[in-house]
Amino acid sequence: MKREQIQAPKGVSEYVPPRSASFEWIRDQLIAPAKAAGYQLMELPVFEDTNLFSRGVGESTDVVSKEMYTFEDRGGRSITLRPEGTAGVMRAVIEHSLDRGQLPVKVFYSGAYFRAERPQAGRYRQFYQVGVESIGLDDPAIDAEIIALADTAFKNIGLRKYRLEITSLGDVQSRAAHKVDLVAFLKTLDLDEATQARAEINPLRLFDDKREEVRKKMLKAPLLMDYLSETSRANFSQVCSYLDALGITYTVNPRMVRGLDYYTGTTFEFIHEDLGAQSGIGGGGRYDGLMETLGGADLSGIGFGLGVDRILLAAEAEGVLVENQFASDLFIIPLGHPAKEMALSVAQNLRQSGFKVEIAFGDRALKGAMKAADKSGSAFAIVLGESELTSGAVELKRMKDGELSSVKISDLGKALSAHA
Ligand code: HAM
């Protein structure tokens, strides 16, 4: 009886060969600029105390109010699969006292995140992010560096059809001044109860409302940009001038609202043209106060999260990925047991010298094995049979033109380099 197949849960993104090679390449490209700038790896748990996100990300956000995978563990604790990376990084910085060492704390991370969203192209319930955070110094030049790290990664990948939007959400004074007018404005609107409740927790959220009627009403709302304090305004124009100096183009979008509540000051989003509704390929910003909210020191920070899945889709849409298939330097075809033993040790030695070597296992007929060698894209192939074991020499076949050269088994490494 054939047993029923089990399928992956709905809406998860997963990568299997050959596409996984492209995923891996994109992820490495996203990390590389951060590493080159001295950011270090943070590897954190995928589940955390639920309070970390309700307090850190904010109760009024969709992420916390509707999209968290929350469950009780066997000890009765409320646990949540991480919907994003910044809160966990702050938790770890505080817990490991990194905030009391050299500042800024500069870290990157890469991994799976979980949001119970309605799945569609580019929107998944398990997705992948590469993120970067710089914590502890409030210097507009850091904001520019952070934005440049993401921009460099996109350029290195070869993306062209993306844009950067940037705004400032100001400091406490700016937001307090704006809030008074915004709340007064919202009172003049005819809003349903749920929306009013959202507005009470965080009135800025209404700029993010997807409903056409609310969007229309919000067109006349006072903009935070017009309420920036002296310091916030000066910081923002400093960030912009650093970006100009770096040749990074951007548009200022004073209506930008990010889906997480911790943002203050410089806030930004990268948007790709070819991705339809899920066009945000990355975003981030500064977060004064987040660390203090989570029980740490009053340090500011700034960072971003890049959506690896969407960036892969964007790279595919722009056709910038090169065929990334594994191709070995040597493909060994052993005939019989003693030959397999020899193949295993020859392969191990050559791999240790830096060559990529595959072995044809499974006692296939020579013809079939040769076909496999051909298909594998390997540069060279050898057959190891009884006569080769006795003589200690093999015929090294160059796959692209079939040229054969007689080589001692002990000299294979040299021959591979010489004939390549
Ligand atoms: P975020 O904007 O919520 O920010 O997510 C960052 C990126 O993750 C998005 O731009 C998008 O590319 C990707 N993403 C988000 N949700 C999904 C999904 N359901 N499916 C596929 N991709 C998705 C953050 O998470 C912040 N922690 C970023 C940050 C770091 N801010 C400061 N530091």
305 CB near ligand 1 (under 6 Å)? yes
Ligand 1 center–CA 311 separation, angstroms = 12
Residue of the CA atom closest to atom 10 of ligand 1? 282
Instruction: Answer yes or no: are the C-beta atoms of 81 and 63 closer than 8 Å.
Output: no
Q: Give me the residue label for tokens 């076909």.
A: 371
Q: Give me the residue label for tokens 């949540």.
A: 80
Question: How much is the pLDDT for 279?
Answer: 95
Strand, coil or helix: 206:
helix
Query: What is the CB neighbour count within 10 angstroms for residue 394?
Result: 25
Question: How much is the pLDDT for 257?
Answer: 86
User: pLDDT by residue (tens digit) across 261-296?
Assistant: 899 999 999 999 999 989 999 999 999 999 999 999
Instruction: Answer yes or no: are the C-beta atoms of 255 and 207 closer than 8 Å.
Output: yes
Ligand 1 center–CA 180 separation, angstroms = 30
- Structure tokens belonging to residue 257: 């609202």
- Structure tokens belonging to residue 342: 């020899």
Question: How much is the pLDDT for 258?
Answer: 87
Residues forming CATH 3.30.930.10 domain(s) in the chain: 19-171+247-318
- Specify the fold of 19-171+247-318: BirA Bifunctional Protein; domain 2 (3.30.930)
| pLDDT tier at 324, thresholds 50, 70, 90 | low
Q: Is the pLDDT of residue 87 over 90?
A: yes
| pLDDT tier at 60, thresholds 50, 70, 90 | confident
Q: Mean pLDDT across the stretch 221-247?
A: 97
> Could you give the percent of the chain with pLDDT greater than 70?
100
Evaluate if pTM is beyond 0.75.
yes
Residue length of the chain: 420
User: pLDDT by residue (tens digit) across 191-231?
Assistant: 899 888 888 888 988 998 889 999 999 999 999 999 999 99
265 CB near ligand 1 (under 6 Å)? no
Q: Is the pLDDT of residue 364 over 90?
A: no
| pLDDT tier at 322, thresholds 50, 70, 90 | confident
What residues form DSSP beta bridges with 266?
168
Which one of 42, 106, 108, 127 would you pick to mutate in the ligand 1 pocket, going by the greatest count of ligand atoms within 8 A of its CB?
127
Ligand 1 center–CA 88 separation, angstroms = 14
Of the candidates 358, 293, 241, 215, the residue with the CA atom closest to the CA atom of residue 53? 293
CATH homologous superfamily of 330-418 equals Anticodon-binding domain (3.40.50.800)
- Structure tokens belonging to residue 120: 């569609």
Alpha helices in 11-139 (DSSP H): 19-36, 50-56, 62-66, 86-95
What share of residues in the chain are helix, strand, coil (percent, to 5)?
Answer: 45, 20, 35
Alpha helices in 106-171 (DSSP H): 140-157
What residues form DSSP beta bridges with 120?
123
Strand, coil or helix: 197:
helix
Residues forming CATH 3.40.50.800 domain(s) in the chain: 330-418
